[in-house]
């Protein structure tokens, strides 16, 4: 299947600093990418949908000024957690949509995830 790569796989940062997570679609172009977060023993929670060249659409309750999303190209989206706090520690996962067609449908592929620990 198609490959979506996230970097870094894990990161530790100090409280108050910002951290950036990259998401790349390696073998296809993705006009739409999605960002999720997941707390231990919980399901994935959608944070925002980003479309190449336009502003991201955030889910209710997600602070857009805290979680900055940039989708500057068809193969790269970034999530920046600004002024990180310990409660932002979580597993962040991106996904990218590969265009199929009206008969086969699109497929969304996920990255490996990034563990963020804020100390």
Partner 1 sequence: DAKTTQPTSMDCAEGRAANLPCNHSTISGNEYVYWYRQIHSQGPQYIIHGLKNNETNEMASLIITEDRKSSTLILPHATLRDTAVYYCIVRVSWEWGGTSYGKLTFGQGTILTVHP
Name, in order, each residue with C-beta under 8 angstroms of 76's C-beta and a sequence gap of 6 or more.
22, 23, 24
Q: Per CB under 8 A, does 117 bind partner 1?
A: no
Tokens (6 digits) for 6: 């996230």
Least distance in angstroms from the C-beta of 66 to partner 1: 21
Task: Give the per-residue contact string, 21-50, with partner 1 (x = CB under 8 A; - = no).
Answer: ----------xx-x-x------xxxx--x-
Q: Per CB under 8 A, does 106 bind partner 1?
A: yes
Q: Which is nearer to partner 1, 47 or 81 (CB)?
A: 47
d(CA 51, CA 34): 9
Name, in order, each residue with C-beta under 8 angstroms of 104's C-beta and a sequence gap of 6 or more.
none
Q: Which secondary structure element, helix H or strand E, spans residue 115, and what is its range?
A: strand 114-118
Give contact residues for partner 1 (rule: CB under 8 A). 1, 4, 6, 31-32, 34, 36, 43-46, 49, 51, 91, 93, 95, 97, 99-102, 105-113, 115
């Amino acid at each position: 299947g198609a490959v979506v790569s996230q970097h870094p796989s894990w990161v530790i940062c100090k409280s108050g600093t910002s951290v950036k997570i990259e998401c790349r679609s390696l073998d296809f172009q993705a006009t739409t990418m999605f960002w999720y977060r997941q707390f231990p023993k919980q399901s994935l929670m959608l944070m925002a949908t980003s479309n190449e060249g336009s502003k991201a659409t955030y889910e209710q309750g997600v602070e857009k000024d805290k979680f900055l999303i940039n989708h500057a190209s068809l193969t790269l989206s970034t999530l920046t957690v600004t002024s990180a706090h310990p409660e932002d520690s979580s597993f962040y996962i991106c996904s990218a949509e590969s265009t199929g067609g009206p008969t086969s449908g699109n497929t969304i592929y996920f990255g490996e995830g990034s563990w963020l620990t804020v100390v």
